[in-house]
């Protein structure tokens, strides 16, 4: 354990009474090594103990440094899993919206085709008999189409505003319920504290 560069401190002496098992161990080392003095053996034992303590401290610090890294890795894995779920859910929602759009397009196409068929077979002949020419009949058809579009846009806007209003009302109601619940919890805690101590805290 001792090296040539180490300096022996002569003005400092550690005095202590060893335990019996320590004394027996030191005596056994002296017999094994042939050493006549206890001091070199005790110095070697102190070196071994200090080296073991440094290794233990280093291992503890390494474990403490590794713990946050492991926690960060677990957090990243959790975030990755959540993102994958969100992506999968978004893809599913997109497929549902695409299907809904296709169905809506088919419905609108069928409705438009049915309207044109009824117009040509029923309305247009009756208008011709009443003296309307082809241009007037086409103009009347376009006017009715515009009126139907305006009605649809107004109805869609009204439905949208009703949905937004109901969503806002629901959010406000939820916030009020949360405030009321929090106030009730605070009141209950205060009542429990008063019952326990006999006076308010």
pLDDT in tens, 111-167: 888 988 888 888 888 888 888 898 998 898 889 889 888 888 898 888 888 888 888
The pLDDT-based confidence of 16 (bands split at 50, 70, 90) is: confident
Give yes or no: residues 36 and 75 share one domain. Answer: no
Assess if residue 85 is contained within a domain: yes
> Contacts from 44-52 at CB under 8 Å and sequence distance 24+?
44/1, 44/2, 47/1, 47/2, 48/1
Residue 25 lies in a domain: yes
pLDDT at 88 > cutoff 60? yes
Domain boundary among 84, 106, 129: 129
Provide the number of structural domains found in the chain: 3
Write out the residue range of the structural domain in which residue 35 sits: 20-52
Answer whether residue 110 is part of any domain: yes
Q: Are residues 76 and 41 in the same domain?
A: no
Q: What is the pLDDT of residues 21-47, one digit of tens each?
A: 888 888 888 888 888 888 888 888 888
Q: Which of 112, 129, 146 is the last residue of a domain?
A: 129
End residue of a domain, out of 102, 129, 156: 129
């Amino acid at each position: 354990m001792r090296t040539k560069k180490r300096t022996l401190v002569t003005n400092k002496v550690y005095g202590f009474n060893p335990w019996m098992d320590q004394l027996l161990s030191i005596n056994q080392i002296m017999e094994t090594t042939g050493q006549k003095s206890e001091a070199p053996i005790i110095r070697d034992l102190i070196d071994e103990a200090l080296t073991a303590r440094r290794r233990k401290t280093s291992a503890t610090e390494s474990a403490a440094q590794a713990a946050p890294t492991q926690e960060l890795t677990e957090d990243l894995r959790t975030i990755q899993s959540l993102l994958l779920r969100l992506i999968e859910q978004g893809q599913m929602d997109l497929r549902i919206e695409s299907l809904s759009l296709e169905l809506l397009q088919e419905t609108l196409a069928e409705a438009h085709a049915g309207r044109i068929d009824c117009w040509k077979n029923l309305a247009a002949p009756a208008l011709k008999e009443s003296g309307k020419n082809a241009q007037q009949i086409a103009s009347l058809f376009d006017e009715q189409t515009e009126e139907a579009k305006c009605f649809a846009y107004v109805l869609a806007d009204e439905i949208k505003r009703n949905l937004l209003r109901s969503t806002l009302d629901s959010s406000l109601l939820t916030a009020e319920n949360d405030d009321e619940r929090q106030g009730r919890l605070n009141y209950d805690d205060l009542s429990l504290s008063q019952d326990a101590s006999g006076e308010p805290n």
